[in-house]
Amino acid sequence: MITPAVHTPALPTAPQGRVPAQGVPPEQAGGRAERRSAGGDPDRGRTLLALTAARTGSPDDVARFVAAFDADVRRYIGFLQPDTDGVEDLAQETMLRALLSLHRFEGRSSARTWLLSIARRTVVDSVRRASARPRLSDAADWQREAEWRQARNVPGFDEGLALRGLLESLCAERREAFVLTQLWGVPYDDAAALCRCPVGTVRSRVSRARAELLRLLREAEEHSPAPVPGEDAGVAA
């Protein structure tokens, strides 16, 4: 008897010949993606994409999976490693690692949480490798500088740069917790799994990050130069 399509994501291991452990409740065997479906999990659609790609291995399904998460992976790596050098390579390495282990993805967490955990390990491994050698000048530095100057003409660039500067002033642990939960909306339990710490620790880091950001904003406002009298009128004239 062919399993109905609606139940396929709950049994992603069937094509590999593995049998779920005896006594495991269906919701655990099916993964968190199934359990969240009733609650309207915003990542459910992308998790189903990952499960489909894991099950079929179809180039089209895999391409859809990669396209759905590419931006998230790049942004996450960028926040973990503020130095933009190497983000492209790390993103590609993350996706390669994910594709090599995609057949083992069972939906026990959202696909985004699973993929970001791979990105985090990739960054950590990269830092460990880089710590053993000095940073060398790249021949393409001039090109990155030109692209950077060009980007300054994009509307909202300065505001985004200011936000990034504030976030980079936080320690890495607080920055990661704040970005995951407050900017990306990752649930606290998933953020805890990514950060490899208790949920309470994540909440504490977010609280302290928020307090520090507010303090930095107040200091920036206090030290901002006062407007020159008549300046606006002169410009208008």
If you count DSSP H runs as helices and E runs as strands, how many of each does the chain have, helices first? 12, 0
pLDDT of 159 higher than 80: no
Is the full-model pTM beyond 0.75?
no
Residues of the chain with CATH 1.10.1740.10: 40-130
Tell me the per-residue pLDDT of 39-58, one tens digit each, with 9 for 90 and over. Answer: 445 688 999 999 999 999 99
* Best CA proximity match to 219, nearest among 176, 160, 169, 181: 169
In angstroms, rounded to a whole number, what is the distance separating the alpha carbons of residues 83 and 81? 5
CATH architecture of the domain 160-223 equals Orthogonal Bundle (1.10)
What pLDDT does residue 56 have?
92
pLDDT category of residue 82 using cuts at 50, 70 and 90: low
Q: At what angle do helices 157-168 and 199-223 cross, to 10 degrees?
A: 120
pLDDT of 38 higher than 70: no
pLDDT category of residue 186 using cuts at 50, 70 and 90: confident
What pLDDT does residue 10 have?
40
In angstroms, rounded to a whole number, what is the distance separating the alpha carbons of residues 17 and 233? 77
Share of the chain above pLDDT 70, in %: 59
In angstroms, rounded to a whole number, what is the distance separating the alpha carbons of residues 74 and 187? 20
Average pLDDT over residues 173-181: 88
pLDDT category of residue 23 using cuts at 50, 70 and 90: very low
> Please, which residues have CB within 8 angstroms of residue 233's CB and are 6 or more apart in sequence?
none
Are the beta carbons of 179 and 209 closer than 8 angstroms?
Answer: no
Are the beta carbons of 202 and 188 closer than 8 angstroms?
Answer: yes
Are the beta carbons of 211 and 180 closer than 8 angstroms?
Answer: no
Task: Give the DSSP H/E element, type plus range, for residue 148.
Answer: helix 141-151
What secondary structure letter does DSSP report for 51?
H
What pLDDT does residue 98 have?
93
> Please, which residues have CB within 8 angstroms of residue 138's CB and are 6 or more apart in sequence?
85, 144
Greatest C-alpha distance within the chain: 81
What pLDDT does residue 12 have?
40
Structure-block tokens of residue 231 = 């300046």
In angstroms, rounded to a whole number, what is the distance separating the alpha carbons of residues 80 and 92? 16
pLDDT of 231 higher than 90: no
Structure-block tokens of residue 145 = 């500088």
Are the beta carbons of 178 and 210 closer than 8 angstroms?
Answer: yes
More confident residue, 228 or 101: 101
CATH architecture of the domain 40-130 equals Orthogonal Bundle (1.10)
In angstroms, rounded to a whole number, what is the distance separating the alpha carbons of residues 91 and 72? 10
* Best CA proximity match to 178, nearest among 154, 162, 160, 194: 194
Tell me the per-residue pLDDT of 217-226, one tens digit each, with 9 for 90 and over. Answer: 888 777 665 5
Average pLDDT over residues 29-46: 54
